[in-house]
Structure formats: C-alpha cells, structure tokens
Chains A and B, each alone.
Chain A
C-alpha cells in the first residue's frame, strides 16, 4: 500500500515541554490506524500536526506527496475543508445552529448550494441515527446525540482522511460502539483513512493497525505504556 499521509521526524514542543520527539508515522489510503498511549504521550499533538492544524518544529508532514508544512495557512485550512474531517471528544457544534445547519456548514464553506447541503446533512444525520433531530439546537440534545451530529459533520464532505481524537471518550459504551461501527462502515465504503486516537485497547481494536506512542516517540515494545526511557 502506498502512503496517503506521512509524518517523518516530527518534533513539536510547547515552550519547554516536548510533545513529539522525532516521530514517524504513515497512513495508507483507506487504512484505519489507531494511535494509542497513556495520557500526555503526544497523541493529540500528533493528530493536530498531521491534520495541518498545528505546525511542527521540525520534520515533514506529507499528504498525497506534498509537504503541507510549506503551505500557507490559507491553503492548509482549505485542505482541511476539502480533504480532511476532524472529530474531537466533545463540544464542537456551533450552539446557535441546528443539527442540520451544523452538519451543512462544511458543505456551505466548500461552496455547495443551500438545498443540496441541507439534503446531504439530513442524510448523514440519518445515517448516525439522529435524523429526527435535524431542527434541534445542540443545547437540547444529549451528549451522545451531539457527538453523532459531530461525526455526521466530520464525514459529510466525504473526506479522504478522518482525524478522530478520543471520539467516544464522552459516550456510554453502546453509543460509542454504534458510532465507531458506523465510522468503520463509512471508511470501508468510501476508502476513507482514519487516524483514531485512543488510550483504550477496546477502541483501538476497531483499527487495522495500532501505533503506540510513548513520551513523544514510537514505543518500541508496541505497548504505549509510557514505561520511561
């Protein structure tokens, strides 16, 4: 398999705190990769760097063989709108917009017409079991329902890569499993690559492969245990 997205020699610090210390990772088209490891090992930082949200201090992030670190901020945010979907643990919906408007938003930003965007949004909300909440505001929904909307919004543009950071961390077990199962189905059907950040083995098991981190580098034991040097 050829790589769709690669990170090579990634370094990133927050002031004096190193978060990534020379990390290599590669994700093939259609591949679901779990990034695991204990809290603070750099998973979220890695996800943000790969998604072009954070710049690295050193190292290269290549997407479809282009070094996106060399791109302007505008070009990177365009890439995120067209090719990437991003999903966090919670709190990503715009509170003033209904579920359907939230999900339609990325399509509108990408230049779709209103009707078309609304139609896709309804379809994706249905796919994640919250079609009947299309006209509700996020504040009127449960955490699980909000997260289902957030997944619909992350996938509505049919991204090539979905970045999901502990996407089920705030959900009950069954809701989490339903959401993950649906993500896996979408990824398989559309050939979407998924970078799935989690510290739970049960969640990592949804992936084709696990990349374990430890203190900002790959864990040589493959365990992501943060065992110290």
Chain B
C-alpha cells in the first residue's frame, strides 16, 4: 500500500497519549484493518526518524527495559505536522484511496468530526474537479481510444472514492451533530 504515510499515521495514533512501539503497531493494525500489518522494524525506524526531527519525544521506559519498551509522546511540532497533513487535500488520482481512508480515520481520532468534515469537503471538491477534467478529455471529439480507456480507468477509481467520501461525509456529519447537540 506504499502510499499511506506511516509517520503521519503514527503521529495521529499518539494523540491518544504516549505509547510504545508495540502498542502503536497494535493500534495501527486495529484502526486501519485494510492496510497491511505494520512490521515492528518499520515502527521503530519511523519512530527514530520522528524523534530525530523533533516530532515525537521519549517519555520513559517500562521497568523491564529494552529499546522496544520506550514510550513516545507527540511534541507540539509533531501535532502541527499532523494537522497540516490532515488538512491537505490529496491529488485526486487512482490508488490514493488508502491514504484517504487513513486520513479520515486518523482525523476522527486526533481532531474530531469537524476537522474530518472540513477535510472531506475539500477532498471531495478536488475529486469532483478532476472527474470533470477527465470527462472532458473523454468527450473531446479528437479523443483516441487510448485516451478514453485511460480516462475510464481513472474515472472508475475516482468515482468509487467519491461515493465513499460522500457517504462518509454524511456519516461524519451525523456524528458531529450528535456530539454538538
């Protein structure tokens, strides 16, 4: 699934409070069941990079010690990096769906329904605009069979994502209204 940014997802998971690598791996695999399970090695490597960049900080170690028992917490810089990622619209293209999904899940977890709604509205608009461009390519008088087939392929994927974005938006808005009323 390559596309989904593990570092951003880990930052999002740390919004629940300090956790060590093993807990983060478990939380990741539970929250994003459609993504590939994270390898432990990848979790520790990613945490190491995040720490180097000041986005997470060590908060201690379990009694039994060992590097794999180190807890990490989100720093202010980490929170800011996460919020930027959550608000950024993905370039609408086939194969971004796992990133869209990860963002919405993390957004709900880290920032709540209002932030998820803002993101979903912006992402939906980007998808719609791209769908319209692709449709114009396809309906052009001089479109080649190759153009049409390629546009069809992208449209089918964007359309599937759009349906999901739209349904999720409706669900999240219901959720949001439950929270504020």
Contacts and interface: CB of A to CB of B under 8 A. Distances in A.
B177 A228 contact: yes
A221 B159 contact: no
A133 B139 CA distance: 25
Contacts of B89: none
A225 B131 contact: no
A225 B166 contact: yes
Contacts of A177: 138
> Chain A interface residue count: which class?
10 to 19
Given A201-B159, A205-B128, A205-B135, A223 B166 contact: yes
In this complex, the interface size class of chain B, counting residues with CB under 8 Å from chain A, is 20 to 34
B170 A201 contact: no
B125 interface: yes
Nearest to B128: A201
A205 B177 contact: no
Contacts of A202: 131, 135, 155, 159, 162
Contacts of A228: 173, 177
A222 interface: yes
Nearest to B138: A181
Nearest to A206: B135
A227 B167 CA distance: 11
B125 to A, nearest CB: 7
Given A205-B131, A221-B121, A228-B177, A181 B139 contact: yes
B125 A201 contact: no
A210 interface: yes
Nearest to A189: B141
B169 A223 contact: yes
B132 interface: yes
Given A223-B166, A223-B169, A227-B170, A185 B139 contact: yes
B55 to A, nearest CB: 33
B32 interface: no
Interface in B131-177: 131-132, 134-135, 138-139, 141, 155, 159, 162-163, 166, 169-170, 173, 177
A4 interface: no
Interface in A195-226: 201-202, 204-207, 210, 221-223, 225-226
Contacts of B177: 228
A123 interface: no
A201 B169 contact: no
B124 interface: yes
Nearest to A181: B139
A201 B135 contact: no
B173 A225 contact: yes
A205 B132 CA distance: 4
Contacts of A3: none
Given A185-B139, A205-B134, A210-B128, 10 more contacts: A177-B138, A181-B138, A184-B139, A185-B141, A206-B139, A207-B132, A221-B121, A223-B166, A223-B169, A226-B170
Interface of A: 177, 180-181, 184-185, 201-202, 204-207, 210, 221-223, 225-228
